[in-house]
Structure 1
Amino acid sequence: MGSASASYRGHRYPVEVISHCVWLYFRFPLSFREVEEMMLQRGVIVSYETVRRWCAKFGQAYADGLRRRRPRPGDKWHLDEVFIKINGELKYLWGAVDAGGNVLDILVQNRRDKAAARRFFRRLMKKTRAVPRVVVTDKLRSYGAAHREVMPSVEHRSHKGLNNRAENSHQPTRQRERAMKGFRSVGGAQRFLSTFSGISPHFRPRRHLMTASDHRAEMTVRFAIWDHVTGVVGAAATA
């Protein structure tokens, strides 16, 4: 099998079923029960609780595998933060994308002050193992203060109109948040969004810039990568 093969030991369902359920849940705004129903229509009997356990166990590993296969991030980063309600309390979702729209990282935090911005900057550089040439943010002063402290040599452009790319990157998250009727805990939100931001964008190429044939070809490549990351290709080879 592929990179996640050891994790499948003891599971009676084949890799193809497990990876397909995880794909359905993180790619589309579906509940665990809806994934269960879709699999039943295909003749596969699996409970929604089993789907939930698979998503919890394999989702992050799949997301990390996809991230490792991405090209090196561009040198222009767009950062933005939006509020989300978690169990009725206001929190902030910090996100960053590069110039190509690739999600670099997300982080749920209680505040949007200098300390929160500094934490996100440092986390970004550690996770990407890179330092950008330019960071683009909105007018939030916390960005400027943290930028001067963490990456003073990096150009900082602060303008609301320049940051549409980062703002647009939150749209899939908002859609999913509505479908899930919100998040119940900060930890749960962070775990889900960390996996979601690694899997969902992989299947969302910039469709508006492609012809239909180019889009089909690109999706074929991306599904092949998914099969390698999840171990489906290896399972088929050893069957």
Structure 2
Amino acid sequence: MISFKGNHYPNDAILYAVFFYVRYSVSYRDLEEIMQERGVKVDHATLNRWVEKYAPLIAAEAKKQKRQVGTSWRMDETYIKVKGKWVYQYRAVDKQGKTVDFMLSETRDEEAATRFFEEAIGNNILPEKVVMDKSGANKAGLTNINICHFLSGCWLSFIDIIQVKYLNNIVEQDHRFIKRITKPMMGFKAFRSAAATLDGIEVAHMIRKGQLGQEDGPAYRQFIALAG
């Protein structure tokens, strides 16, 4: 359960604001006006703090509670601008397009890819295969995971690595929702803010795809329910 200790606003109002920001392409000043129309007077700086604080906590809960994904993954990264520089949102989906995991990184290299695969496997069942593009860093990252399995004696847990010049478009198409929401934001001023916002966007996307087992309820209610 997420703690809201010390807040002077109702928990549902805070989470509604966070959900609205990560689900729709609005600025913090627009969201400030929207919240005031709903009887909640809050400034844009406070809204920003709510997103930075609570979106990552909601994402952590979503990763725990989401339905099990398949064992055939498609992995790729997309680009997000932070302080005028590109950073990388690592992402994986299964062959049905369900979100496996996501991670924002300042670098696009073997170390980042290894860290992503470690987290993705830790949060899900072990994949049988991962389809990726021709990136040498991504292949090296997954090879590192296989080497660890070999050294630990897990002979049956090797992951097949399939590289194709043009990545299966399932993950490319899935990037579009993320890019559509972030594009109007015109870039982020800080890595922490970008990571928190992307965490929230990814959760909203998983809810759209019915991964949290409450498809009949309103999306914002499913988001709020993740706080416990």
CA distance in 2, matches of 1:229, 1:37: 26
SS at match of 1:37: helix
Aligned mates of 1:194, 1:33 — CA distance in 2? 21
Cα separation, 2, equivalents of 1:78 and 1:133? 11
- Aligned pair count? 215
Q: 1:30 to 1:154 in 2, by over 3 A?
A: same
1:53 paired residue number: 49
Q: Which piece of structure 1 moves more, 36-45 or 160-169?
A: 160-169
1:168-187 matched pairs, under 5 angstroms? 168-187=173-192
What TM-score, normalized to structure 1?
A: 0.77
Counterpart in 2 of 1:209?
none
* Deviation by residue 1:113-158 (Cα, 9 ceiling, x = unmatched): 43333332223223x1532011011122333333333226212221
CA RMSD of aligned residues (A): 2.5
Structure (1 or 2) with the greater helix fraction: 1
Matched residue of 1:169: which SS? helix
Contact 2:98 2:209 in 1 (8 A): no
Matched, 1:205 2:201: no
SS in structure 1 of the partner of residue 226 of structure 2: helix
**Corresponding residue for residue 115 of structure 1:** 111
C-alpha deviation, 1:28, in angstroms: 0.9
Q: Quick one: which of 142, 148, 152 aligns to 1:147?
A: 142
Report what 2:151 is aligned to.
none
Give, as a single letter, the amino acid of the residue that structure 2 aligns with 1:105. D
Out of 22-31 and 145-154, give the one that drifted further: 145-154
SS at match of 1:170: helix
Change (3 A) 1:86 1:221: closer
Q: Secondary structure at the match of 1:16?
A: helix
Offset at 1:219? 4.4
Distance 1:58 1:109, change over 3 A: closer
Contact 2:208 2:219 (C-alpha < 8 Å) held by counterparts: no
Match of residue 191 from structure 1: 196
Cα deviations by residue, 1:136-182 (Å, 9 ceiling, x for unpaired): 11122333333333226212221245521111222122223321111
Q: What residue is the counterpart of 1:82 in the other structure?
A: 78
Match of 1:236 in 2: none
Structure 2 unaligned residues grouped into runs of 5+? 148-157
Q: How far apart are the structure 2 equivalents of 1:129 and 1:149?
A: 18
Q: Given the alignment of the two structures, is residue 43 of structure 1 paired with residue 39 of structure 2, yes or no? A: yes
**Could you say what secondary structure the match of 1:20 adopts?**
helix
- Decide whether the 8 Å contact of 1:79 with 1:163 is kept in 2: no
Whether the aligned pair in 1 keeps the contact of 2:35 and 2:42 (CA below 8 Å) is: yes
